[in-house]
Structure 1
Amino acid sequence: MSSITACLFDLDGVLVDTAKYHYIAWKRLAGELGFDFTEQDNERLKGVSRMASLDILLEIGGMTLDEDAKLALAEKKNAWYVEYISKMDESEILPGALDFIQVLKARGIKVALGSASKNAMLILNNTGLTPYFDAIIDGTKTSQAKPDPEVFTMGAHELGVQPDTCVVFEDAEAGIEAATRAGMRSVGIGSPETLGRASIVLSSLEEFTVDRLLEL
Structure 2
Amino acid sequence: FALGLLSWMYGRPTEPTVAFLEKKFAKVPDILGANLAAFKAGWNYGETTETFVVQYEIKPAKMNAGTYRNITGNLALSYGLVAAGVRSGLPVFLGSYPITPASDILHELSKHKAFGVTTLQAEDEIAGIGAAIGASFAGALGVTTTSGPGIALKSEAIGLAVMTELPLLVIDVQRGGPSTGLPTKTEQADLLQAMYGRNGEAPVP
The structure with higher relative contact order (CA 8 Å, sep 6+) is: 1
* TM-score of the pair, normalised by structure 2: 0.34
The structure with more radius of gyration:
2
TM-score (norm 1): 0.33
